[in-house]
Structure formats: structure tokens, C-alpha cells
């Protein structure tokens, strides 16, 4: 009996196997989380390359610099690029339908993101900025500003791209803390 007890503590195979199992589980979880993250990232940018190729092929743009997604009543890829004359453009590329009704905005004619953010910061200095994205609501070109206000509400604020006036605003209350 004493011999069995001493061999258990001098040659702990269970400890080696337990450590191996724990390391295996940690590595497996790490690999799973990495694959899941990459899959989510791919689904977020799904269709970007196809949209880019369609616009370049159609001659709408000569160069594409960035693509974002806007989800409103309808979903759009928001494409930043330059036309043949070298002018910076924003194109709203609808994701639904075979016939694509493109909306094109000349960036020289609108207020840029920085101007909208500067005005917003003056109005809401204690708010926590999240993001700003071009938006197309009811056929009107807008900036969608997302932030958390001083009351802890998640806010979607829409400003006209041309004059910076507020178009509409949605404030969402937190249900759970």
C-alpha cells in the first residue's frame, strides 16, 4: 500500500495527461475562435470585390479606394473612388435587384466627415462617438452618425450631406444593464 502511494506521487502520469488535456483544450478553443472570427470578417465584407469589379467594368469609377456597407430600409455598398476625371465620388450600390439604380455623390459638393464631426462635437461634447457612414434614406444622401449620448442611449443621427442639417434621429434606450 505504501509502495502504491509513493509511486503515485513520484510518477504522476495523471498530472501529465491532465496538463496535456488542458493545453489541448486551450489550443483547440484558440483555433476555433480564430476560424470563427475570420468567417465573421469574411461575411461582413462579402460581395465587396464583386461590387468593385462591376463598377470598374461599367466605367462608373476608374479607381476604388474603399467600400463600406449601409443598412437602412435597403442595403447598399457605399463605394469611395475616383472617376475618369480624377474627381472623388461616393456611389451607393444597391444589394437587391438585378437592375442597379446607382446614386452617385461628388465629394467636392458635400460636407466631409470631419466638418460633420466638428459640428456634432460642439453640440454633444459628452457623447461617445462610434462611427460615421454615408447613408441613403428615402433617396436622400445623408451622413449617419452613431454614438452613445450622455444618458447612455445608442443614437443614430442623420445629417444632410450638402448643408449639414439634421434629417432624423433615433435614440434607443437600454433595456438591460
- Residue-level pLDDT at 100: 74
- Residue-level pLDDT at 146: 94
Whether pLDDT at 156 is above 80: yes
- Residue-level pLDDT at 144: 94
Q: Domain range spanning residue 27?
A: 2-44
Question: Quick one: DSSP state of residue 100?
Answer: -
In a shared domain, residues 117 and 162 = yes
In a domain, 101, yes or no: yes
Cβ pair 169, 142 in contact under 8 A: no
In a shared domain, residues 40 and 74 = no
Strands 154-160 and 166-172: antiparallel
In a domain, 149, yes or no: yes
Whether pLDDT at 151 is above 90: no
pLDDT digits (tens, 9 = 90+) for 70-85: 888 888 889 999 988 8
pLDDT digits (tens, 9 = 90+) for 3-62: 555 554 565 777 888 888 999 999 999 999 999 988 887 777 777 888 888 888 887 788
**Cα angle 161-162-164, degrees, rounded to a multiple of 5:** 70
**Residue 112 C-beta-side C-alpha neighbours within 13 Å:** 6
In a shared domain, residues 125 and 161 = yes
- Residue-level pLDDT at 16: 82
In a domain, 177, yes or no: no
In a domain, 140, yes or no: yes
Cβ pair 78, 90 in contact under 8 A: yes
Q: Which residue has the higher pLDDT, 136 or 13?
A: 136
Q: Phi and psi of 81, rounded to 5°?
A: -175, -175
Query: Pick from 109, 124, 143: which residue ends a domain?
Result: 109
Evaluated on CA atoms 23, 29, 32, 33, the torsion sign reads negative
In a shared domain, residues 123 and 151 = yes
Average pLDDT rounded to a whole number, residues 116-135: 90
Question: Quick one: DSSP state of residue 151?
Answer: T
**Percent of the chain residues topping a pLDDT of 90:** 36
Cβ pair 96, 74 in contact under 8 A: yes
In the block, which residue shows the cell 453640440?
A: 123
CATH of the domain at 101: 3.10.450.40
Amino acid at each position: 500500500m505504501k509502495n502504491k502511494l509513493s509511486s503515485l506521487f513520484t510518477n504522476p502520469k495523471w498530472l501529465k495527461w491532465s496538463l496535456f488535456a488542458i493545453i489541448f483544450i486551450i489550443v483547440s478553443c484558440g483555433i476555433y475562435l480564430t476560424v470563427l472570427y475570420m468567417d465573421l470578417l469574411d461575411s461582413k465584407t462579402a460581395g465587396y470585390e464583386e461590387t468593385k469589379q462591376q463598377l470598374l467594368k461599367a466605367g462608373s469609377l476608374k479607381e476604388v479606394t474603399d467600400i463600406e456597407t449601409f443598412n437602412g430600409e435597403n442595403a447598399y455598398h457605399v463605394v469611395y473612388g475616383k472617376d475618369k476625371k480624377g474627381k472623388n465620388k461616393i456611389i451607393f450600390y444597391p444589394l437587391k435587384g438585378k437592375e442597379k439604380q446607382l446614386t452617385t455623390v461628388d465629394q467636392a459638393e458635400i460636407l466631409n466627415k470631419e466638418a460633420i464631426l466638428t459640428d456634432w462635437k460642439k453640440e454633444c461634447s459628452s457623447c461617445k462617438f462610434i462611427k460615421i457612414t454615408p447613408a441613403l434614406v428615402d433617396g436622400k444622401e445623408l451622413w449617419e452618425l452613431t454614438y452613445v449620448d450622455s444618458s447612455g442611449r445608442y443614437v443614430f443621427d442623420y445629417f444632410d450631406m450638402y448643408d449639414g442639417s439634421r434629417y432624423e434621429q433615433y435614440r434607443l434606450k437600454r433595456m438591460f444593464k
